[in-house]
Amino acid sequence: MALALRCLRPVPALLLRPCPAVARGLPRAPGGCPAPLPGGCSCCAQHLLLSRQLATKKAKGKGQSQAKVNINAALVEDIINLEETSEDMQAVVEALKEDFSRNLSVRTSPGALDHITVVTKDGKFPLNQLGQISQKSPQLLTVNMTSFPESTAAAAKAIRESGMNLNPEVDGTVIRVPVPKVTREHRESLAKLAKQSTNKSKEALRKVRSKSITQVKKSKNKVSEDTIWLLEKQIQQMADEAAAEMDKLLAAKTKELLG
């Protein structure tokens, strides 16, 4: 029995010893990371591998969702800037919010016309830079084009083709924009536009994701497969969260539009 116990004493030390093969290929650890190894540190290696093991076990569990990956951005900053990727994805979400707020409202307001793009011989300009937009009554908006009379026809065309169900009437340098009654057909048309805008935003989101994953794959000869795998999973996870936020925005806007 005594001999057996003596043989077991070294085991804990062996278990705690970091494996060079595991650490090799991992990104360098932050300056304050303890017990640094040539390619990282034992705690970083254990963290990354544990994250993958947890995710894999979760994925194998029937009917269970995959565990979230949460990589320390500082640990992989030499490969990709995860914070920048997150900001790019959130910018797409914010652009969709702004589009919903500005262009997809049941009731047309002067602000809804502000950023309609007018194509002129000198370039493209927001409508509010070419004309003075005002609301004469709940049923009538006007655009005074006195400052740029040569762009009156182009402005009227831009309003007509804005997808807002508006039919402008030109009176000299003044464009009169009757506000249509809120019909069921108009509400359904706006809801359809909301869906189209969401799909376009999701396509922009996919481009951000693909660009980030391509950047990660460029480092496959410098870091371990585990690191690449986890980074791709994290980026996909961020994209999924942004897409889910878009779906919530669409559901809320559709409910608002259809009443």
Domain ranges of the chain: 74-103+183-258, 108-178
Output DSSP code: residue 137.
E
CATH T-level fold of 108-178:
Gyrase A; domain 2 (3.30.1360)
The amino acid that residue 231 corresponds to is L
Cα(22)–Cα(18) distance, integer angstroms: 8
Name the pTM for this structure.
0.61
In this structure, are residues 201 and 243 in contact, taking their beta carbons and an 8 Å threshold?
no
Neighbours of 123 (CB within 10 A): 7
Phi, psi of 58 (to 5 degrees): -65, -45
Provide the 3-class DSSP secondary structure of residue 114: coil
Residues 6+ apart with CB under 8 A from 92: 201, 204, 205, 208, 242
pLDDT given at position 21: 41
pLDDT given at position 103: 76
Give pLDDT tens digits along the chain (259 positions): 444 444 444 444 333 444 444 444 444 444 444 444 444 444 444 444 444 444 444 454 444 555 677 777 777 888 889 999 999 999 999 999 988 887 787 666 667 788 789 999 999 999 999 999 998 887 899 999 999 999 999 999 999 988 777 899 999 999 999 987 778 887 888 899 999 999 999 999 999 999 999 999 998 888 888 889 999 999 999 999 999 999 999 999 999 888 7
CATH T-level fold of 74-103+183-258:
Topoisomerase I; Chain A, domain 4 (1.10.132)
In this structure, are residues 159 and 179 in contact, taking their beta carbons and an 8 Å threshold?
no
Q: Tell me, rounded to whole angstroms, the distance of Cα 156 from its chain centroid.
A: 33
pLDDT given at position 211: 96
Cα(155)–Cα(144) distance, integer angstroms: 10
Phi, psi of 204 (to 5 degrees): -65, -35
Cα(26)–Cα(193) distance, integer angstroms: 46
